[in-house]
């Protein structure tokens, strides 16, 4: 049975609200049979565990996250998925500006909101993040003990090391100059923007990947939802400075599952595997035979199943 989520706007700060989906499972109840002929007592609702989810770099919740949520809610979990500030129907200016530390601040506010929900057990909160948000889930798991289980999928581990893989040596000086020019231009105006992806390596873009083009075709953004597939130039600079891998040793004793793709060229699996070795117990590493974006479709059963098993065990 497909569950239709409730749409909620979660306030964070500065008058900004995040557009959020709330999925609730079929109502759980606990009651003991009453001796005849007394009528059976009304069922007593049982608070359910909840999974807080978010997408990666410039991703929206429409892009493949419902498949995970449906599996989690069918197993009895409540699920909350938010879009980051500046994206989709969430508020915030400038639009499509990716600041990992603001996103982490906002995600903590979402978790605070979750603790106020009726029917949800605030003592059983898990986080699930993928790609850039996979890095966020590591930082959150290490710094917020309200979280009782972490799933980090195809995660950003080192923004610096990933930038070295993404930008050829001969183009790094030009990129640094472009970012410096953009920073200077912000003295008088808004930050510049760039496409998230272009298959043409000669075009300025964050990525040059056919995988991303295929992913966008598979999970199109609905009409009426802002998505021009651009981000600010300074998002690249902020990404280069983001090092969620250093937080991995601090996640324990919160249970940590890391899911990696053996053919990932967006967030190379060897970074995640090296970071995993620094984590304390309990922890588990799951590898799947695919690329970064195969997690949401081709390998959905495998990746969602691993996450579900982890949440069932620890929440």
Residue 146, Cα to own-chain centre: how many angstroms?
A: 17
Q: What pLDDT sits at residue 230? A: 97
Mean pLDDT, range 184-213, rounded to an integer: 93
Indicate the pTM of the whole model: 0.93
Of the candidates 139, 94, 155, 114, the residue with the CA atom closest to the CA atom of residue 24: 114
Rounded to 10 deg, the angle between the 159-166 and 233-240 helix axes is: 120
Q: What pLDDT sits at residue 41? A: 58
At 270, list the tokens: 């060897």
Q: What pLDDT sits at residue 99? A: 98
Q: Mark 204-241 as b/e (b = at least 16 C-beta within 10 Å).
A: ebbbbbebbeebbeebeeeeeeebeebbbbbbbbbbbe
How do the residues of the chain divide into helix, strand and coil, expressed in percent and rounded to 5?
35, 20, 45
How many CB atoms lie under 10 A from the CB of residue 40?
11
As a whole number of angstroms, the distance between CA 250 and CA 237 comes to 25
Q: What pLDDT sits at residue 32? A: 36
Q: What pLDDT sits at residue 73? A: 98
At 58, list the tokens: 């410039």
What are 27-85's pLDDT values in tens digits?
A: 643 333 444 455 555 555 789 999 999 999 999 999 999 999 999 999 999 999 999 99
Residues 6+ apart with CB under 8 A from 190: 94
Tell me which fold the domain 6-26+46-167+243-314 belongs to: Rossmann fold (3.40.50)
What are 115-168's pLDDT values in tens digits?
A: 999 999 999 999 999 999 999 999 999 999 999 999 999 999 999 999 999 888
Q: What pLDDT sits at residue 28? A: 45
What are 209-249's pLDDT values in tens digits?
A: 999 999 999 999 999 999 999 999 999 999 999 999 999 99
Q: What pLDDT sits at residue 1? A: 84
What are 268-313's pLDDT values in tens digits?
A: 999 999 999 999 999 999 999 999 999 999 999 999 999 999 999 9
Q: What pLDDT sits at residue 283? A: 98
Q: What pLDDT sits at residue 39? A: 59
DSSP lists the bridge partners of residue 257 as 151, 284
pLDDT band at 202 (very low <50, low <70, confident <90, very high): confident
Of the candidates 200, 212, 206, the residue with the CA atom closest to the CA atom of residue 239: 206
What are 111-123's pLDDT values in tens digits?
A: 999 999 999 999 9
pLDDT band at 184 (very low <50, low <70, confident <90, very high): very high
Mean pLDDT (the chain, rounded): 94
DSSP string, 154-221: S----HHHHHHHHS-HHHHHHHHHHHHHHHHHTTTSPPPEEESB-S-TTS--SB--HHHHHHHHHSPP
Q: Taking the domains of the chain in order of start, what are their residue ranges?
A: 6-26+46-167+243-314
């Amino acid at each position: 049975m497909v569950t239709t989520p409730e749409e909620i706007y979660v306030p964070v700060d500065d008058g900004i609200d995040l557009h959020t989906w709330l999925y609730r499972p079929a109502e759980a109840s606990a009651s003991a049979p009453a001796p005849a002929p007394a009528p059976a007592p009304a069922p007593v609702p049982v608070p359910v565990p909840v999974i807080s989810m978010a997408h990666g770099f410039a991703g929206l919740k429409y892009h493949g996250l419902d498949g995970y949520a449906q599996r989690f809610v069918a197993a009895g979990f409540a699920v909350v998925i938010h879009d980051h500030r500046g994206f989709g129907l969430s508020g915030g200016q400038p639009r499509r500006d990716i600041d990992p530390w603001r996103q982490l601040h906002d995600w903590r506010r979402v978790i605070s909101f979750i603790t106020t929900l009726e029917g949800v057990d605030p003592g059983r909160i898990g986080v699930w993040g993928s790609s850039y948000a996979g890095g966020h889930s590591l930082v959150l798991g290490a710094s917020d003990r309200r979280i009782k289980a972490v799933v980090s999928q195809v995660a950003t581990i080192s923004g610096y090391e990933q930038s070295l893989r993404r930008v050829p040596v001969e183009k790094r000086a030009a990129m640094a100059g472009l970012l410096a020019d953009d920073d200077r231009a912000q003295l008088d105006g808004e930050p510049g923007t760039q496409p998230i992806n272009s298959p043409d390596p000669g075009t300025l873009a964050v990525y040059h990947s056919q995988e991303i083009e295929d992913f966008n075709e598979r999970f199109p953004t609905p009409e009426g939802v802002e998505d021009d597939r651009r981000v600010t130039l300074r998002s690249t600079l902020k990404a280069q400075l983001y090092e969620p891998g250093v937080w991995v040793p601090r996640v324990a004793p919160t249970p940590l599952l890391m899911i990696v793709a053996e053919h990932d060229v967006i967030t190379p699996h060897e970074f995640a595997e090296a970071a995993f070795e620094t984590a304390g117990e309990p922890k588990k590493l799951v590898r799947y035979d695919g690329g970064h974006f195969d997690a949401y479709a081709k390998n959905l059963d495998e990746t969602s199943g691993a996450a579900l098993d982890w949440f069932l065990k620890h929440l």
